[in-house]
């Protein structure tokens, strides 16, 4: 596969789950990938397994200067940045709003909303100077409806969905392709944490109800092609059978 030959992709939260799956698939398709996460050992291992077309950049996306430094590391290694996947996310605390720890609640906002802003703010000027680029942010059905015990997560994802719309409004005419992906429930560690909480209907789902992380990863790749141009500025839901069929996940 050489579909992304010559492209450079930066992925946050690349140490596991959707981020890891996306990094591996983009690399298999010929892209050079920059893996960002706080877990330096994990991304170092994954980048080592991918090979010389991958770099591991330890990064706390809630801190702008770290994200800016990560973008600069990507430019130093590969010379440009074509695609940003804002994937990193935090869920906890899972607790009633009136019982949630204020520091933990704020941390979710810092990662899920401010972290996405930081990624956009650091990467988009580079893309604009190059004449174009793609920014995709992982959203959630929780962005559009409240769920018991998830006040921080739902609020943060709602803010992230609006960031996607705002970024598209301001930059679509400048050559930037900006979209969101709502992947549904995915078989990752986050779902194990949700299951253990026993809170709200999502925790009652069986493991077999969740899609594998390769599904959203393949969808992200499809979103980076002109085939997805009809969805610019919008949020694609992987719950929709038509999307799954279009991407080639189901017959």
Q: pLDDT tens digit string along 88-140?
A: 999 888 899 999 999 999 999 999 999 999 999 999 999 999 999 999 999 99
The answer to whether 83 and 59 are in contact (CB under 8 A) is no
**Residue 190 has what pLDDT?**
72
User: Which pLDDT band, with edges at 50, 70 and 90, does 164 fall under?
Assistant: very high
The answer to whether 33 and 48 are in contact (CB under 8 A) is no
Annotation says 140 is catalytic: yes
Q: By mean pLDDT, which of 111-125, 152-166, 185-199, 226-240 is the weakest? A: 185-199
With respect to residue 251, please indicate whether it lies within any of the assigned structural domains.
Answer: no
- State the CATH number of the domain containing residue 36: 3.40.50.720
User: Active site residue: 62, 139, 140, 156, which one?
Assistant: 140
**Residue 192 has what pLDDT?**
76
Read off the tokens for 195.
């299951």
With respect to residue 3, please indicate whether it lies within any of the assigned structural domains.
Answer: no
3-state DSSP call for residue 251? coil
Q: By mean pLDDT, which of 70-79, 137-146, 154-163, 189-198 is the weakest? A: 189-198
Sign of CA dihedral 115, 34, 70, 121: negative
Q: Which residues contact 129 (CB under 8 A, 6 or more apart)?
A: none
- Picking from 92, 120, 117, 133, the residue whose alpha carbon sits closest to that of residue 8 is 133
User: Active site residue: 153, 156, 182, 218, which one?
Assistant: 153
User: Which pLDDT band, with edges at 50, 70 and 90, does 47 fall under?
Assistant: very high
With respect to residue 41, please indicate whether it lies within any of the assigned structural domains.
Answer: yes
Residue position matching structure tokens 């992982």: 138
For residue 161, pLDDT beyond 70: yes
Annotation says 157 is catalytic: yes
With respect to residue 29, please indicate whether it lies within any of the assigned structural domains.
Answer: yes
Beta bridge partners of 181: 138, 236
With respect to residue 2, please indicate whether it lies within any of the assigned structural domains.
Answer: no
Read off the tokens for 174.
């400048």
Domain range for 87 is 8-243
With respect to residue 142, please indicate whether it lies within any of the assigned structural domains.
Answer: yes
Q: Which residues contact 245 (CB under 8 A, 6 or more apart)?
A: 251
pLDDT mean across residues, the chain: 93
Q: How far is CA 36 from the centre of its chain?
A: 11
Q: At what angle do helices 17-28 and 40-50 cross, to 10 degrees?
A: 20
With respect to residue 101, please indicate whether it lies within any of the assigned structural domains.
Answer: yes
* Domains contained in the chain, number: 1
Distance between terminal CA atoms of the chain? Answer: 21
Annotation says 153 is catalytic: yes
């Amino acid at each position: 596969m050489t579909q992304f030959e010559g492209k450079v992709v930066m992925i946050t939260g690349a140490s596991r789950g959707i981020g890891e799956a996306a990094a591996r698939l983009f690399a298999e398709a010929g892209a050079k990938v920059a893996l960002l996460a706080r877990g330096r050992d994990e991304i170092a291992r994954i980048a080592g397994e991918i090979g010389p077309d991958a770099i591991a950049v330890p990064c706390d996306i809630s801190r702008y200067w770290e994200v800016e430094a990560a973008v600069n590391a990507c430019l130093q290694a590969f010379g440009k940045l074509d695609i940003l996947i804002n994937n990193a996310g935090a869920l906890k605390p899972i607790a009633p709003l009136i019982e949630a720890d204020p520091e933990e609640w704020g941390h979710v906002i810092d990662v899920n909303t401010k972290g996405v802003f930081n990624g956009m703010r650091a990467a988009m000027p580079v893309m604009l100077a190059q004449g174009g680029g793609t920014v995709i942010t992982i959203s959630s059905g929780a962005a559009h409806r409240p769920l018991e015990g998830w006040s921080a997560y739902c609020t943060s994802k709602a803010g992230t969905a609006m960031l996607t719309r705002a970024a598209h409004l301001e930059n679509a005419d400048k050559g930037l392709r900006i979209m969101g992906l709502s992947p549904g429930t995915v078989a990752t560690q986050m779902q194990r944490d949700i299951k253990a909480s026993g809170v709200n209907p999502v925790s009652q789902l069986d493991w077999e109800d969740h899609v594998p992380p390769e599904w959203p990863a393949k969808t992200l790749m499809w979103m980076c092609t002109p085939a997805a141009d009809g969805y610019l500025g919008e949020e694609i839901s992987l719950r929709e059978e038509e999307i799954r069929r279009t991407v080639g996940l189901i017959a």
